Structure 1
Amino acid sequence: MSELSSIKYYSDAINLKDLEALEARLQQMLQQEIKSVADLEEWLEGERKLREEIEEAMYGHQIDFYRDTTDAVMRDIFLHDQTAVQPMLIKYLAEFDKKLLDSSFHEQLDDKKYGLMLKVRRTKAELFREENIPLTVREQELVTKYNEIMGSLSIEWDGETKPYSFVEGQLDSPDQVIRERAWRALAAARLRVKPQMDELMNELVSLRHKMAVNAGFDNYRDYMFTMKNREYSIQDCYDFHDSVEKHVIPAWDRLAGIMQTSLGIASYRPWDKGPCLMQGAPFQTVTELMDGVDQMLGMTDPYFQERFRHMRENALLDLEVRQGKAPGGFLEFLPATQNAFIFCNFSPSFFALIALIHEMGHAVNAYLQYEAGEGIQEHQLRAEVAELYSHGLELLLLDKLHIFYTDDKECRNAQREELSRAFTMLIGPVAGDLFQHWLYTNPDHTPEERDEKYLELEKRFTYHPVDITGLESEVASRWTGVTHYFGYPFYNIEYSMSMVGALQLLQIYREDPARATSLYKQGAGADPNQSIADIYRDTGIEFDFTDRCLVKTSKFVMGLINELQ
């Protein structure tokens, strides 16, 4: 574990093992009398604090398990939360929603402060079905199994057994032989567990379809759009998919041509897509990574640096690669103590650096919201907003990459790679979104049909300029390594929408860095009860993913890339 693992980083103020005591507190909240608007507001505040205590303990237990999926004690605690606490919590939260909405005083609540919360809770109340509780429990068991499988995945590399995440870092190598060997080794590792992944996804699709039908929907896609209270339609998403294909893919193809010429290769293959123009990883140890990011944040804004140092000093970062650690990276809110925890499992690489900056953007957003006095409530967690500030921080730090890449040419390559990543975040998540539309509107599909659809979409979007001859089966099974498809369904297109916004912020930064940074902080700390469009406007940009905006965005990014030649 981390050198800071001995420090308790979350609050266990409530004992989740004592189900009787937990239910007594929930029951007490449910029975509290409400005789006025003031009583209702007091009840809402008490409910929020109780939920924060429970959620912080559950989030802490989840992080503990993800940090070491082989630890039987941590696994049992996490599974207890999912199989015993979560069903009870779902039931009582539904009762709380009913109590709120049945109160005649809820109509007298200030709409500016409570309007979004009431809208979300009405939706939850309308969609709640008691028969879906055991399905939700089973869903979480399957997601846990996915993380266990991926956490235990290892690869023989140069005579040693290495974690899957370590070999991912080798894709950055300037040596094409090493990159190809790493790409093929990762693909082979995924294919080893493919039968298990097919079983998991088959059951997840079936469970989720049943949840949707129980709630009166034809399919899980339509159910999730309603559950998420999205401020745009399914057709808007399809239009966005088409716009990306029409306006961004041609630019992506041109960028691939530039990369192919720079690499001096006859064919642009999957292992040539990454940041392989740079001469090795930008750091070797986690300490070097944290020291460098600390410096980059300090050069951008003192507040960013202060928050990072607070997290570092309080064991709120786990950035090391370890066997048994769950894959990927995320930020988890710790609402009771008003903190945030960053989890990353990436070996020394360009992506590991960017992933930490990305998650730190989420952290800055969280701390600014805490300081604004709102806390962070479930109804406010809209990914289209959250991802704006994670992508946004990546781009605000674009001109500080020289901290890690001291050679001028290397720095330009790193900056170009980050701009290339902007394209991938416009393209890949759109393909992932389309994949999920298909998964859940065709719930009776076979594993073979699933692979075929994924390959079709990868060739149409992410791999459009890439030669995958002879690698079709490996590409077709890449979905098994994407945690979002298993644990976070329909959390994909938000990455693309928010990247369009972040690139608008970069345009402001290019003209006036101080103004862009100020707008970033203003938006990240803005009232979260506003519409997404209003929060974007507070950040000085527009929530716009139309043809017009994508044409402008693609030209802007290609212009910057051309400057770096």
Structure 2
Amino acid sequence: MMKLSQMPYERPDMEAINAFYEKLIADSKNAKSGEEQYALHKKYTDFSADVNTEIRLAVFRHNIDTTDEFYSKENDYVDEIMPLISNLDNQYKKVLFESPYREYLEEKINKIFFKNIELANNSISEEILPLMQEENALISKYDKVIASAKIPFDGEEYNISLLRKKLTDENRDTRKRAWKALSEYFLSVTDEIDDIYDKLVKNRTEQARKLGYDNYVELGYNRMQRNAYRRAEVENFRKQIKESFVPFVCEIQEKRKAQIGVDELKYYDNDVFFKNGNPAPIGTPEEIMKAGQEMYSELSPETKEFFDFMMENELFDVLGRKTKKAGGYMDYLPKYKAPFIFANFNGTSGDVDVITHECGHAFQGFVTRNDETPENNDLTMETAEIHSMSMEYFTYGWMDKFFGDRADDYLKMHLQDSITFIPYGCMVDEFQHIVYDKPEMTPAERKQVWKDLEKTYRPWLDFDGDEFFDEGGFWQKQGHIFWNPFYYIDYVLASVVAMQFKVWMDKDYKDAWNHYLQLCKLSTRDFYENELAEVGLKSPFKDGTIEELANNMREKV
């Protein structure tokens, strides 16, 4: 294993990739037995691991410095080749799907893999490749608008990530002005973002229609590999959230009003939980990482091995920098069997969430890294996010390492914030369903849709007449709406499952942890609801689950 910064990068050669797939497809079609076809598939997984590692390195290095000319060009190249590789991938997997040795292959790989092939086959064709390339370019254009934000505030210049500290400042006037500065930035680019999104919606709709769908919704579900539930289940879930969680969150807002000492909550109070400001981590980024290492050493033998490996190989890039892409994520380099974490530390409690949330993802990638069947780790997001969100709760007992005497404040804030997020996540999801059901809507009509949904899902929120936010513009800062339609509900589904772990660990921590570890190792060997049942968790789609959870969580806030 080597350090992340030392990993060599070589641009994936499309000619070599085409030649590999051409031979693989021909050989696979001519295979005389399941064993022979499976042996070819092992070659495919090795080749795929190498190509994906190069792609992820290129994107990561572009993200850590969006002004680096070399990796900026590599990122553009990746945008171009990804749809071509996806198409070749699908052609190959179609051969497996139609194989006379399918039964043997299902045994050797897994059933979910074949269900995902079916969804992928219905998601792509030669005809739509140019549209997919254009879609990638539009997403990169949105990222550039967000990453290039230069927001003047109190004599300094901030990007959106680094402004976060001011948006949650304990001084109400400071945060009010910071939100105003953010609003003014978005006002200056809102027409451009509207234009990008309008083109994205029309592009995705055209892709869907060329593939024979009425609109993008079903195609979006297929691309998210929704292999165990569809729209009807999601709608029933959102209905339960409106009934049980929206009133619950309204109660939390009343408590928060008292906590921050105001008569009325305004939008610039939305992310603040205490009169003396939100608890911030004590110590430098280096000290936060060291505290993380101590925490994971104490949590379990598995987490100790994991975090030591991450630190030893410098698999974190977490310092906020002005030319860095906004946000945070975990990804995986299959060639090195190594997870890595990208984030923007900005001096807020979000820095600690990286050490808990993103490390939850990375931990799951680490404990399954030696699985001989990489397809077992082809996670769908509603499962992947359980690993990360649950880790946020399992690490509660160590928060004094990060927050000192404000550890209890952090726990209260984290719990209230997690519960408050649930309706918001559903709102993002419903917004996208409405947008893709009616792709002909104008940008102004889309903003009106968002404005109306705010009244349903966040009735306590007062935008105080702000020219951008009060007119339904808030969604433009939510990157997932641009990057991955229909991804966002996965955070909500995972969050309510993670809360079940929270209820469980408060009764029996060790038992809950063992079942969490079991879930991490299960990866995607079975379908979503089956896996939940196997480790003793309830499906969020079943009537009554959400109401029971809301009642259990009420006792904790």
Q: Is TM more than 0.5 here?
A: yes
Determine helix, strand or coil for the equivalent of 1:73.
helix
Counterpart residue identity of residue 24, structure 2: M
Q: Map Cα deviations across residues 36-66 of structure 1 (whole Å, 9 max, x no partner).
A: 0101111221111111111111111111111
Q: Map Cα deviations across residues 346-405 of structure 1 (whole Å, 9 max, x no partner).
A: 411012211331111100111122134333568x22111101111100011123212122
Contact 1:370 1:376 (C-alpha < 8 Å) held by counterparts: no
Q: Which residue of 2 aligns with 1:223?
A: 219
Q: Which residue of 2 aligns with 1:548?
A: 544
Q: Which residue of 1 aligns with 2:136?
A: 140
Specify whether residues 195 and 429 from structure 1 end up closer, same or farther in structure 2 by C-alpha distance, changes over 3 A only. same
Once the two structures are overlaid, the 10-residue window that deviates more, 339-348 or 287-296, is 287-296
Counterpart residue identity of residue 540, structure 1: G
- The reply to whether residue 211 of structure 1 matches residue 210 of structure 2 is no
Q: Tell me by how many angstroms 1:260 deviates.
A: 0.3
- The reply to whether residue 23 of structure 1 matches residue 18 of structure 2 is yes
* 1:82 alignment partner, one of 79, 84, 91: 79
Determine helix, strand or coil for the equivalent of 1:540.
coil
1:312-323 maps to which residues of 2 (within 5 A)?
A: 312-323=311-322
Q: Which residue of 2 aligns with 1:246?
A: 243
Contact 1:231 1:532 (C-alpha < 8 Å) held by counterparts: yes
Once the two structures are overlaid, the 10-residue window that deviates more, 225-234 or 238-247, is 225-234
Structure 1 gap ranges (5+) = none
- The reply to whether residue 183 of structure 1 matches residue 179 of structure 2 is yes
1:328-347 maps to which residues of 2 (within 5 A)?
A: 328-347=327-346
- The reply to whether residue 524 of structure 1 matches residue 504 of structure 2 is no
Contact 1:97 1:122 (C-alpha < 8 Å) held by counterparts: no
Q: Tell me by how many angstroms 1:10 deviates.
A: 4.7
Q: Tell me by how many angstroms 1:237 deviates.
A: 1.5
1:434-513 maps to which residues of 2 (within 5 A)?
A: 434-461=430-457, 463-471=458-466, 473-475=468-470, 476-513=472-509
Q: Which residue of 2 aligns with 1:401?
A: 399
- The reply to whether residue 66 of structure 1 matches residue 63 of structure 2 is yes
Specify whether residues 359 and 511 from structure 1 end up closer, same or farther in structure 2 by C-alpha distance, changes over 3 A only. same
Specify whether residues 158 and 313 from structure 1 end up closer, same or farther in structure 2 by C-alpha distance, changes over 3 A only. farther
Aligned partners of 1:423 and 1:431: how far apart in 2? 14
Once the two structures are overlaid, the 10-residue window that deviates more, 437-446 or 105-114, is 105-114
Counterpart residue identity of residue 424, structure 2: G
Contact 2:282 2:403 (C-alpha < 8 Å) held by counterparts: no
- The reply to whether residue 194 of structure 1 matches residue 190 of structure 2 is yes
Q: Which residue of 1 aligns with 2:380?
A: 382
Aligned residues: 550
Once the two structures are overlaid, the 10-residue window that deviates more, 385-394 or 175-184, is 175-184
Specify whether residues 189 and 334 from structure 1 end up closer, same or farther in structure 2 by C-alpha distance, changes over 3 A only. same
Determine helix, strand or coil for the equivalent of 1:324.
coil
* 1:57 alignment partner, one of 42, 54, 59: 54
Structure 2 gap ranges (5+) = none
Specify whether residues 170 and 293 from structure 1 end up closer, same or farther in structure 2 by C-alpha distance, changes over 3 A only. farther
Contact 2:109 2:375 (C-alpha < 8 Å) held by counterparts: no
- The reply to whether residue 257 of structure 1 matches residue 247 of structure 2 is no
Q: Tell me by how many angstroms 1:547 deviates.
A: 4.2
Aligned partners of 1:65 and 1:305: how far apart in 2? 30
Determine helix, strand or coil for the equivalent of 1:326.
coil
Q: Tell me by how many angstroms 1:82 deviates.
A: 1.9
Contact 2:330 2:339 (C-alpha < 8 Å) held by counterparts: yes
Specify whether residues 284 and 141 from structure 1 end up closer, same or farther in structure 2 by C-alpha distance, changes over 3 A only. farther
Specify whether residues 288 and 154 from structure 1 end up closer, same or farther in structure 2 by C-alpha distance, changes over 3 A only. farther
Counterpart residue identity of residue 328, structure 2: G
Root-mean-square deviation (CA, aligned residues, Å) is: 2.1
Specify whether residues 427 and 356 from structure 1 end up closer, same or farther in structure 2 by C-alpha distance, changes over 3 A only. farther
Specify whether residues 471 and 355 from structure 1 end up closer, same or farther in structure 2 by C-alpha distance, changes over 3 A only. farther
Taking structure 1 as the reference length, the TM-score comes to: 0.93
Q: Which residue of 1 aligns with 2:5?
A: 8
Determine helix, strand or coil for the equivalent of 2:544.
helix
Aligned partners of 2:456 and 2:551: how far apart in 1? 21
Q: Which residue of 1 aligns with 2:416?
A: 420
- The reply to whether residue 268 of structure 1 matches residue 227 of structure 2 is no
* 2:36 alignment partner, one of 35, 39, 45: 39
Q: Map Cα deviations across residues 136-165 of structure 1 (whole Å, 9 max, x no partner).
A: 111111111111111111211221212221
Once the two structures are overlaid, the 10-residue window that deviates more, 385-394 or 143-152, is 143-152
Determine helix, strand or coil for the equivalent of 2:263.
coil
Counterpart residue identity of residue 507, structure 2: E
Contact 1:275 1:414 (C-alpha < 8 Å) held by counterparts: no
Specify whether residues 446 and 284 from structure 1 end up closer, same or farther in structure 2 by C-alpha distance, changes over 3 A only. farther
Counterpart residue identity of residue 26, structure 1: Y
- The reply to whether residue 235 of structure 1 matches residue 232 of structure 2 is yes
Q: Tell me by how many angstroms 1:506 deviates.
A: 1.1
Aligned partners of 1:125 and 1:514: how far apart in 2? 43
Counterpart residue identity of residue 157, structure 1: F
Aligned partners of 2:301 and 2:437: how far apart in 1? 48
- The reply to whether residue 116 of structure 1 matches residue 112 of structure 2 is yes
Q: After TM superposition, which residue ranges in structure 1, 4 or more long, deviate above 6 angstroms?
A: none
Counterpart residue identity of residue 297, structure 1: Y
Contact 2:184 2:468 (C-alpha < 8 Å) held by counterparts: no
Aligned partners of 2:121 and 2:89: how far apart in 1? 9
- The reply to whether residue 304 of structure 1 matches residue 300 of structure 2 is no
Determine helix, strand or coil for the equivalent of 1:207.
helix
Determine helix, strand or coil for the equivalent of 1:156.
strand
Counterpart residue identity of residue 30, structure 1: I
Q: Tell me by how many angstroms 1:101 deviates.
A: 2.8
Once the two structures are overlaid, the 10-residue window that deviates more, 284-293 or 336-345, is 284-293
Counterpart residue identity of residue 56, structure 2: Y
Aligned partners of 1:335 and 1:121: how far apart in 2? 20
Contact 1:320 1:345 (C-alpha < 8 Å) held by counterparts: yes
Aligned residues with identical type, % of pairs: 23
Contact 1:197 1:480 (C-alpha < 8 Å) held by counterparts: yes
Specify whether residues 262 and 15 from structure 1 end up closer, same or farther in structure 2 by C-alpha distance, changes over 3 A only. closer
Aligned partners of 1:95 and 1:238: how far apart in 2? 33
Contact 1:247 1:547 (C-alpha < 8 Å) held by counterparts: no
Contact 1:152 1:325 (C-alpha < 8 Å) held by counterparts: no
Aligned partners of 2:530 and 2:501: how far apart in 1? 15
Contact 2:228 2:529 (C-alpha < 8 Å) held by counterparts: no
Aligned partners of 1:489 and 1:454: how far apart in 2? 15
Q: Tell me by how many angstroms 1:192 deviates.
A: 1.6
Q: Which residue of 2 aligns with 1:352?
A: 351
Contact 1:268 1:467 (C-alpha < 8 Å) held by counterparts: yes
Contact 1:143 1:487 (C-alpha < 8 Å) held by counterparts: yes
Q: Map Cα deviations across residues 433-453 of structure 1 (whole Å, 9 max, x no partner).
A: 001001101101111011111
Aligned partners of 2:496 and 2:161: how far apart in 1? 29
Specify whether residues 441 and 465 from structure 1 end up closer, same or farther in structure 2 by C-alpha distance, changes over 3 A only. same
Counterpart residue identity of residue 402, structure 1: D
- The reply to whether residue 169 of structure 1 matches residue 165 of structure 2 is yes
Counterpart residue identity of residue 350, structure 2: F
Q: Map Cα deviations across residues 409-457 of structure 1 (whole Å, 9 max, x no partner).
A: x222211111112213321110010010011011011110111111221
Contact 1:241 1:430 (C-alpha < 8 Å) held by counterparts: yes
Aligned partners of 1:268 and 1:207: how far apart in 2? 39
Q: Which residue of 2 aligns with 1:431?
A: 427
1:358-373 maps to which residues of 2 (within 5 A)?
A: 358-373=357-372
